[in-house]
Amino acid sequence: MKTVFHTVVLALVVALCLAGVRVASAQVNDRPLTEKWAPTEWGPDDKAGSVNRINPTVVMKALKLVKQGKTATLGKLYSHDIPAFGARSWTMEIPGTPTGGPFGKNALVYHDEFVQTEIGQIGTQFDGPGHIGVRTSKGDFYYNGRWREESYERGPGGRVLGMGVLGVEHVAEKAFVCRGVLLDGPAYRGVKRLPIPKDTKSPGIVTAADVKAMVYRQGLAEIGEGDCVFLYTGHGDLWLNAEWKTLSAEEKAKRRAEFNSGEPGFGISACRYFAERKIAMTGGDTSANDAQPVGEEEGFAVPCHTDSQTRYGIWNLENMEFTQLLKDHVYEFLFVWAPLKIVGGTGSPGNPVALY
């Protein structure tokens, strides 16, 4: 009886181990190794990626797009009740009432704020080199062939203090000053808002062919090296700056749920086309700019993130607002963005600017 029991237990252990191997193998992607994603074209020591494309020629070309002397800020509100991915949150408090003072004969008082958040990955957010990686059979692979464990900056007790050589501050040594191109998805499809894709043929997925068609229909010059390309889907209109603070708590909750249920966006063919054209940045009015939960190919999780960022170092700016540009029918402009120099950060908040 004991022998039979041991045999059954052993069989269960083997079965569970084999099942674990199958699960683990299903969650490993060795494309970065077999396709030699590193080093990138800027060499094995590069930490900045596509911002390297911003050279004097790119800047001077972009400056010529300013003809009306107008500006538009493209950032969203930062608040405790905005839509956020997963468990991410923004918590801000004003410590003290006021924080300090009065001081001096002039009785100066002041306020500070205390913020607790995923500072690089909330609201209008810039994805840096340390944000997106790929789990391979040799470990977690990040931009330019860097391995997660080897990249970390560590403190006492081995606690991770930052992303080290993958920190966003390396990108922030230069600014994105480029030709901005705004692709109007709803106008192209003839709808108010692109739908959340439910299958691979959904009109909510913007393919390479769609990108080329939109550029042509909008009368724009072909997308080229150093350009920053943005997609308006209408999905971000669920939380427009001008009305968000006026909505009831119930309405905000409803819109957060809808915003987070999926989103239209770029398909993988579009992002591969951008890599071929050597653009500097992608962006849009959604939380990822990838079509999800379904893209052009089944079973991939926001594949533009891994192909564009981890492979090519083409960085991504999410949750932008294009209200003013759309109102003025401006689809080509001087775009300016510089991430905060957050040492070891995965990304950066901020308020990008369009000039036209």
How large is the C-alpha radius of gyration of the chain? 23
Q: What pLDDT does residue 20 have? A: 40
Q: What pLDDT does residue 3 have? A: 42
Q: Which two tokens stand for residue 79?
A: 């608040």
Residue 178, beta-bridge partner list: 335
When pLDDT is averaged across residues 113-137 and rounded to a whole number, the result is 98
Q: What pLDDT does residue 26 have? A: 59
When pLDDT is averaged across residues 50-73 and rounded to a whole number, the result is 98
Q: What is the pLDDT of residues 80-114, one digit of tens each?
A: 999 999 999 999 999 999 999 999 999 999 999 99
**What is the C-alpha to C-alpha distance for residues 71 and 99, in angstroms, rounded to an integer?**
34
Q: Cα–Cα distances in Å, from 268 out to 229, 249, 274, 292?
A: 15, 36, 10, 11
Q: What pLDDT does residue 15 have? A: 39
Cis? peptide before 197, omega within 30° of 0: no
Q: Is the pLDDT at 16 greater than 80, yes or no?
A: no
- Closest by alpha carbon to 304, among 106, 247, 296? 296
For helices 208-217 and 268-277, give the axis angle rounded to 10 degrees.
70
Residue 354, beta-bridge partner list: 72, 335
Any idea which residue has 């083997």 for tokens?
14
Q: How many CB atoms lie within 10 A of CB 250?
A: 8
**350 three-state secondary structure:** coil
**What is the C-alpha to C-alpha distance for residues 93 and 284, in angstroms, rounded to an integer?**
29
- Closest by alpha carbon to 340, among 78, 148, 53, 111? 78
Q: What pLDDT does residue 25 have? A: 47
**What is the C-alpha to C-alpha distance for residues 337 and 354, in angstroms, rounded to an integer?**
9
List, as one string, the DSSP characters of 6-64. Answer: HHHHHHHHHHHHHHHHHHHHHT---HHHHTT--S-TT-TT--SGGGGG--HHHHHHHHT
Q: What is the pLDDT of residues 167-222, one digit of tens each?
A: 999 999 999 999 999 999 999 999 999 999 999 999 999 999 999 999 999 999 99
- Closest by alpha carbon to 135, among 46, 30, 7? 30
Any idea which residue has 């699960």 for tokens?
23
CATH for 31-79+120-355 is: 3.50.30.50
Sequence ranges of the domains in the chain: 31-79+120-355
Q: Is the pLDDT at 41 greater than 50, yes or no?
A: yes
Q: Is the pLDDT at 72 greater than 80, yes or no?
A: yes
Residues 310-325 as b or e (16 or more Cβ within 10 Å = b): bbbbbbbbbbbbbbeb
Q: Identity (one letter) of the amino acid at 239?
A: W
**What is the C-alpha to C-alpha distance for residues 115 and 112, in angstroms, rounded to an integer?**
10
Q: What pLDDT does residue 255 have? A: 98
DSSP state of 164: G
- Closest by alpha carbon to 117, among 320, 274, 324, 346? 346
Q: What pLDDT does residue 251 have? A: 98
When pLDDT is averaged across residues 13-27 and rounded to a whole number, the result is 44
- Closest by alpha carbon to 184, among 176, 173, 193, 175? 193
List, as one string, the DSSP characters of 260-293. Answer: TT-B-EE-HHHHHHHHHHT-SEEEESSSSSB-BS
Q: Which two tokens stand for residue 290?
A: 């990838």
Q: Is the pLDDT at 236 greater than 60, yes or no?
A: yes
- Closest by alpha carbon to 315, among 294, 293, 284? 284
Question: Rounded mean pLDDT of the chain?
Answer: 93
- Model confidence at 23, pLDDT cuts 50, 70, 90, reads very low
Q: Is the pLDDT at 8 greater than 70, yes or no?
A: no
When pLDDT is averaged across residues 326-351 and rounded to a whole number, the result is 98
**What is the C-alpha to C-alpha distance for residues 328 and 316, in angstroms, rounded to an integer?**
24
